[in-house]
Structure 1
């Protein structure tokens, strides 16, 4: 969950820096890295919520007949 929180702060900064330096040759590289970090933060966020819910409510039970 710590990775999720760190990525939530770092990824917007990377995307902002990319848009701030649009004339730089590495603009697309930095922008793609920032977008990848944003997507990773969203995935880790869903994973953290699922982990918290499983810890509070228990595992989801399935009927196997």
Structure 2
């Protein structure tokens, strides 16, 4: 039972991209709720939600690749 190095590196890269997005997304959403009187409130809120959804997708995809590389589906 050997580890697939290519899938392992792809999974780690996806998780590395997800990590900053996990912090940036809630910060952008918080900023949108602070500035409700601004015209761009809904645009910033939408961007924050999209960043959070992207972080969740990248985290699950990275974990799936890690599991596939370790356990050889």
TM range (shorter): 0.7 to 0.9
Tell me which residue corresponds to 2:30.
16
When the two chains are superposed, the root-mean-square deviation of aligned CA atoms in Å is 0.7
Deviation at 1:8, TM superposition (A): 0.4
Mapped partners of 1:2, 1:53: distance in 2: 16
Tell me which residue corresponds to 1:35.
49
Q: Which of 1 and 2 has greater Rg?
A: 1
| Structure showing greater relative contact order (alpha-carbon pairs closer than 8 Å, 6 or more residues apart) | 2
Tell me which residue corresponds to 2:19.
5
Counting matched residue pairs gives: 59
Residue 66 of structure 2, aligned match among 40, 52, 62: 52
Mapped partners of 2:20, 2:65: distance in 1: 18
Q: Which runs of 5+ in 1 are unaligned?
A: 60-65
Deviation at 1:56, TM superposition (A): 1.0
Query: More helix per residue: 1 or 2?
Result: 2
Runs (4+) off by over 3 Å:
none
